[in-house]
Structure 1
Amino acid sequence: MENNDKLLLLGDQAIALGAIHAGISGVYAYPGTPSTEITEYIQDSPLAKSRGLHSSWCTNEKTAMEAALGVSYVGKRALVCMKHVGMNVCADAFVNSGITGVNGGIVVLAADDPSMHSSQNEQDSRFYGKFAMIPVLEPSSQQEAYDMMEYAYSLSEEERLPVLMRITTRMAHSRAAVKVKEKFLDVTCTGKESVPSDWVLLPGNARRRYLEVIAEQSRLLDLSETSPFNEAAFKEGMSEKGIVACGIGYNYVMENYPDGCPYPVIKISQYPLPADLLTRLAGSCREMLVVEDGQPFVEEQLKGLLPSQYVVKGRLSGDLPRTGELTPDNVKAALGIPGGQVYPKAQHVVPRPPALCVGCGHRDVYDALNRVAAEYPGAKIFGDIGCYTLGALPPFRALSSCVDMGASITMAKGAADAGQFPSIAVIGDSTFTHSGMTGLLDAVNDKANITVIISDNLTTAMTGGQDSAGTNKFEAICLGLGVEPGHVRVVVPLPKNMEEITRVIREEIEYDGVSVIIPRRECIQTLNRKLKKKRAEKK
């Protein structure tokens, strides 16, 4: 039963509300754009609070996935959220979850970022679903994103497999009116007993489970062929063109045909690919255009599914851009529709590259680092993922690298192993606990000659100020990992302390071993929000 009232929701919020209404017991996530708002919505939801849903941030995506497996083991439902590069972090647990199977339903939400608005790459998470041999869902609208959640959990429990839901930035961060259900599921438990041998992946058990998962693939294919989310609209006779539209790409196609598409269309929102539907489409048209956001995941598979002489167009053929996100305009061009009005580019507009906030403590860290590094010809400063990555840009130009979460420490260690001096790593507080601690342990064990700067602004600032897992624990963590007590040092990054900060950096560079400097000052944005809230409470 549905409400007549509609809610105006981001795609992320529609997914979050759908998960709450589907009866999850908890959400497990690490903040990463464009997925962050899912967990934040659940954290702020009165319904979620009244149900006692677990919704605190995890240290990283791997721990999030493993915690969700624990929820599933005892028969309850869990949601795991991350951006696409987070799938790389949780891949060990994620891929193995296809072998253990699930008891309570698990939905893994991967938010991809075509065009790399805030990411290092454009990877397509659908490949992970195929790799793990599990069902993949890809909503084409906010309404479908909401509706899919209950279906996804039922699918997960019926097939005893996790389900991957893949969205892209435009789906995550655009709004639409969404009808929500008047009645929804209470927090549920499957009531099934876990089978211990399924969850103990010793080779004997894993080999058995692998055969079972292989045998399940024909069933998953049948479910895709009949899925309510895979829609087919065929035409009478032979058409010049057929269209395969995936996820949000379907919206872009239909925006160009407000009176109805003149070509046969298949909308794909559930994988594995519905081969019979696609073969039938190929038999009704002379060529096929694949409209998919991300990499040519479907286009490549179609080329293998259909005869070699059959014409399949899309990103590989150049009919759609090989990189970047889809837009209604580039889809229009691929469809051969004459363009609308073209507006000239604005003249005399000065580009505004991103920059660290005025008053940010990272600014003082980089000022100090640059001053000291200038005294050492050939100094290298290895960077990491966070708002402090902006230290690679003017006016600082301080960083030599930025590869992935936690790489600064291990790259600095590797460079030092190869003779680099000085070898300095800059990492943020949240990133350090996410994946920097193991690198620091490697450095301690090898007595590497590196200096690590943990720039601590007391929050996960880049994604909006979420809690940081290691706040007020960094000194203890570093000491516990074996850094010498005299070489774990805390400074306050302010201009007035510049002489002290530069002195500490020099001293630790000259120390032959692992040293850690922790510049600590609260993020200016979270501080401003706290002060504003206090002022409002006094009125």
Structure 2
Amino acid sequence: MNGYEVLAQALQSCADRVYAVPGFPVTELGSVTGAEPAAGEKVALEYALGDSLSGRRAAVIMKNAGLNTCADPLVQATSQGLIGGLVIIAGDDPAAEGSTTTQDSRYYGEIAQVPVLEPGPETCAESVEAAFSASEQFSRAALLRVTPELLFAPAEPKVVVRTPGSGMLAPANLTMKGRASRADSLFGEMFAWSRDHPLNRFSGGVAGIGAARGESAVVTVYPPPPQVGSFSEIREIGRPFVREHLHVHPARDIVQPETIAKRGYYRTFCRGCPFLPVFEILESRRMSVVADAGCSILTLNPPYLLGIATYGLGTAI
């Protein structure tokens, strides 16, 4: 079996819903998985976030450039949290065989503070469940980076056991600043996750990242495990991402997330706001709101307390 076939089997076992936007090198992966097509990457990710809020696991398959399109909800989800695991399979094209750029998706791990995994042929099946588990553990999306070197080469099929888990939304009593602080704190815990992850194999020699061969194999590429810093040679496909991030460390100062009570006040809508009748109707029916960026975020605050989360501007949830 090729890598994309092994990944498709694992996705069918671990995910409740799969969405895809075709594009090299992940078109075949989306097709074999039977993924639901979406109009665009941002819409696909927002559909997946909607599934997550309902407690379902969801995956989104896209090529590297698609991450640029869905960057807003990707980053916002880190501070807002989620419930069901959410994994983005990002297809990179380091040789630009079917793309206009050689963009490396792993850098979004740093931007969005999300765990990034890059499996090899022996670990691509298990990495799917590992990515979902990481998403639920840290209450944010997880990135799974794949390249043609993995997708179109022989890979080892394995039976993947789905482990039940659940993420958490940011507590409703946190300010926006408090939500960001909470996200930073959880990011700090990702370093121990990477250091101790069983998919990494350290046995000396050359360290191979993803499909790059080496006596040792590294799957959790962001944050990278500290052990990889001891290797004299690190092989990667594409940019030297892991080599550039060997000295990334968790923040030393842990800031207690700010609550509305601690701040001493909450923000609400301006007097005479034309949208107030809409929110009053929603409140009377106790309907939940996934707030769009802007003033509707204030539905998270008293006296409404209707908002679940906000995942960016123009959300499709």
Q: Same fold (TM over 0.5)?
A: yes
CA distance in structure 2 between the aligned counterparts of 1:217 and 1:195, rounded to whole angstroms: 14
Please state if 1:247 is matched with 2:210: yes
Deviation at 1:179, TM superposition (A): 3.0
Mapped partners of 2:5, 2:179: distance in 1: 35
SS of 2:123's partner is helix
5 Å-filtered alignment, 1:463-474, equals none
- Pairwise CA distance, 1:194: 5.3
Matches of 2:188 and 2:223, distance apart in 1: 11
- Distance in 2 between residues matched to 1:126 and 1:185, nearest whole Å: 25
**How far does residue 195 in structure 1 lie from its aligned partner after superposition?**
5.7
Q: Which amino acid aligns with 2:187?
A: Q
Once residues 104 and 62 of structure 1 are traced to their aligned partners in structure 2, the CA distance between those partners, rounded to angstroms, is 18
Q: Which amino acid aligns with 2:73?
A: A
SS at match of 1:151: helix
Q: Contact between 2:170 and 2:179, CA under 8 Å: does it hold in 1?
A: no
| Overall identity of the aligned pairs, in % | 31
Q: Which residue of 2 aligns with 1:165?
A: 144
CA distance in 2, matches of 1:298, 1:228: 18
Which of 268, 275, 284 aligns to 2:218? It is 268
Correspondence 1:220 to 2:190:
yes
Q: Name the TM-score, length of structure 2 as normaliser.
A: 0.72
Partner in structure 1 of residue 292 of structure 2: none
Distance 2:183 2:100 in 1: 33
The one-character-per-residue Cα deviations of 1:264-309 (angstroms, maximum 9, x if unpaired) are: xx42210334453134x25xxxxx222111112122234x57xxxx
**Residue in 2 aligned with 1:38?**
29
Structure 1 residues 197 and 296: CA distance shift in structure 2, 3 A: same
Counterpart code for 2:193: L
Aligned 8 A contact 1:75 1:189 in 2: no
Instruction: Compare the two structures and name the one with the higher helix fraction.
Output: 1
**Counterpart for residue 12 of structure 2:** 20
- Whichever residue aligns with residue 236 of structure 2, its letter is E
Q: For 1:232 and 1:99, locate their aligned partners in 2 and report how far apart those are by CA, in whole Å.
A: 33
State whether residues 134 and 164 of structure 1, in contact with CA within 8 Å, keep that contact through their aligned partners in structure 2. Answer: yes
Structure 2 SS opposite 1:245? strand
Amino acid in structure 2 at the alignment position of 1:197: A
Aligned residue number for residue 177 of structure 2: 207
Compare relative contact order (CA 8 Å, sep 6+) and give the higher one, 1 or 2: 2
* In 1, Cα distance between equivalents of 2:170 and 2:188: 23
Hey, what's the Cα distance between the residues in 1 that align with 2:156 and 2:127? 16
Partner letter of residue 32 of structure 2? Y
In the TM superposition, what whole-angstrom CA distance separates every residue of 1:129-177 from its partner, at most 9, and x where no partner exists? 1211111110011x41111112221222122121110011121122334
- Deviations along 1:47-80, one digit per CA (max 9) or x if unpaired, are xxxxxxxx32100001000100000011110001
- Count of residues in Structure 1 that have an aligned counterpart in Structure 2: 249
* Structure 2 CA distance for aligned equivalents of residues 296 and 207 of structure 1: 33
**What secondary structure is seen at the aligned counterpart in 2 of 1:179?**
coil
The answer (yes or no) to whether the contact 1:111–1:168 under 8 Å persists in 2 is yes
Work out which of the two has the higher radius of gyration on C-alpha atoms and give 1 or 2: 1
SS in 1 for 2:28: helix
CA RMSD in angstroms comes to 2.5
Provide the residue aligned with 2:108 in structure 1. Answer: 128
Secondary structure at 2:212 match in 1: helix
Note if contact 1:111-1:172 (Cα within 8 Å) is conserved in structure 2.
no
Deviation at 1:90, TM superposition (A): 1.1
Aligned partners of 2:242 and 2:88: how far apart in 1? Answer: 20
TM-score by length of 1: 0.43
In structure 2, what is the Cα distance between the partners aligned to 1:83 and 1:193?
28
Q: Displaced runs of 4+ in structure 1, greater than 4 A?
A: 192-196
Unaligned runs of 5+ in 1: 1-7, 44-54, 199-203, 235-241, 254-260, 283-287, 306-539
Point out where structure 2 has 5 or more consecutive residues left out of the alignment.
249-317
Q: How far did residue 98 of structure 1 move?
A: 1.4
Match of 1:86 among 66, 86, 94: 66
Aligned match for 1:139, one of 115, 119, 132 = 119
d(CA) in 1 for partners of 2:74 and 2:168?
Answer: 22
Q: CA, structure 1 residues 193+244, in 2 after alignment: closer, same or farther (shift >3 Å)?
A: closer
Question: Shift of residue 196 of structure 1?
Answer: 7.3
Partner of 1:123, secondary structure, is: coil
Per-residue Cα deviation, 1:324-369 (whole angstroms, up to 9, x for no partner): xxxxxxxxxxxxxxxxxxxxxxxxxxxxxxxxxxxxxxxxxxxxxx
